[in-house]
A and B are shown apart, each in its own frame.
Chain A
Amino acid sequence: MSDSLPTTPEAVRQRAAAADSRRRRQARPVSRQWRRRGLMAAYIVFVLLPIYWLLNMSFQSNTEILGGLTLWPENFTTEHYAKIFTEPSWYMGYVNSIIYVLMNMLISIAVALPAAYAFSRYQFIGDKHLFFWLLTNLMAPPAVFLLPYFQLYYTVGLFDTHIAVALAHCLFNIPLAVWILEGFMSGVPKEIDETAFIDGYSFPRFFVKIFIPMISSGIGVTLFFLFMFSWVELLLASTLTATHAQPIASVMTQTKGASGIDWGTLAAAGTLTILPGIVVVYFVRNHIAKGFALGRT
Chain B
Amino acid sequence: MTKVYNNRAWWLILPMLLLVAFSAVIPVMTVVNYSVQDVFDAHTRFFTGTEWFREMLNDPALQAAVLRQFAFSLTVLAIEVPLGIGIALIMPKKGWQASAILILVTMPLLIPWNVVGSIWQIFTRGDIGLMGWSLRELGYGYNITSSPLDAWVTIILMDVWHWTPLIALLCFSGLRSIPDAYYQAARIDRASKWAVFRYIQLPKLTNVLVIGVLLRFMHSFMIYAEPFVLTGGGPGNSTTFLSQSLTTMAIGQQDLGPSAAFSLIYFLIILLVTWVFYTAIMNMQKDDNNQEA
Contacts and interface: CB of A to CB of B under 8 A. Distances in A.
A171 interface: yes
Given A122-B4, A293-B174, A149 B110 contact: no
A168 B23 CA distance: 6
A215 interface: no
Interface in B204-259: 204, 207-208, 211, 218, 221-222, 224-225, 242-244, 246-247, 250-251, 256, 259
Given A47-B161, A285-B99, A145 B27 contact: yes
A227 B239 CA distance: 29
Interface string B130-156: 110100000000000000000000000
A293 B24 contact: no
B109 A144 contact: no
Nearest to A44: B104
B270 A107 contact: no
B200 interface: no
A18 interface: no
A252 interface: yes
Contact of A263 (B5, B102, B120, B122): B122
Interface stretch (B44-52, B58-66, B165-173): B165-173
A142 B101 contact: no
Given A50-B161, A281-B110, A292-B172, A123 B5 contact: yes
A9 B52 CA distance: 82
A144 B128 contact: no
B103 A122 contact: no
B118 A152 contact: no
Interface stretch (B11-19, B73-81, B180-188, B285-293): B11-19
Given A139-B218, A231-B112, A252-B114, A291 B128 contact: no
A124 B109 contact: no
Secondary structure dominating the interface of A:
helix
B56 interface: no
B71 interface: no
Nearest to B262: A144
A99 interface: no
B177 to A, nearest CB: 4
A273 B108 contact: no
Interface in B91-117: 91-92, 98-99, 101-115
B6 A123 contact: yes
B52 to A, nearest CB: 14
Given A57-B122, A288-B102, A288-B169, A65 B128 contact: yes
A137 interface: yes
Contact of A139 (B19, B128, B271): B271
A142 B24 CA distance: 11
A161 to B, nearest CB: 15
Interface residues of A, number: 95
B118 A281 contact: no
Given A118-B12, A292-B173, A234 B110 contact: no
Contact of B15 (A111, A121, A140, A253): A111
B128 A47 contact: no
A88 interface: no
A138 interface: yes
Nearest to B134: A69
A96 interface: no
B190 to A, nearest CB: 9
B202 to A, nearest CB: 13
B103 A282 contact: yes
A206 B7 CA distance: 20
A36 B91 CA distance: 8
B267 interface: yes
B222 A293 contact: no
Given A122-B5, A235-B247, 13 more contacts: A39-B86, A49-B130, A51-B107, A53-B122, A111-B19, A125-B7, A143-B263, A233-B112, A248-B112, A252-B118, A266-B118, A293-B174, A293-B177
24 contacts: A54-B118, A65-B128, A66-B128, A110-B15, A111-B19, A115-B12, A122-B6, A136-B271, A139-B270, A144-B263, A144-B266, A148-B28, A227-B110, A228-B110, A231-B110, A234-B114, A234-B224, A270-B115, A270-B118, A270-B119, A280-B110, A290-B176, A291-B173, A292-B173
10 smallest CB-CB distances across A and B, nearest first, come from A277-B110, A148-B27, A292-B173, A122-B9, A118-B12, A293-B173, A115-B16, A148-B30, A118-B9, A144-B263
Interface of A: 36, 39-40, 43-44, 46-51, 53-54, 57, 65-66, 69, 71, 107, 110-112, 114-115, 117-125, 127, 130, 134, 136-149, 151-152, 167-168, 170-171, 174-175, 178, 186, 190, 227-228, 231-235, 248-249, 252-253, 263, 266-267, 270, 273-274, 276-278, 280-282, 285-286, 288-294, 296-297
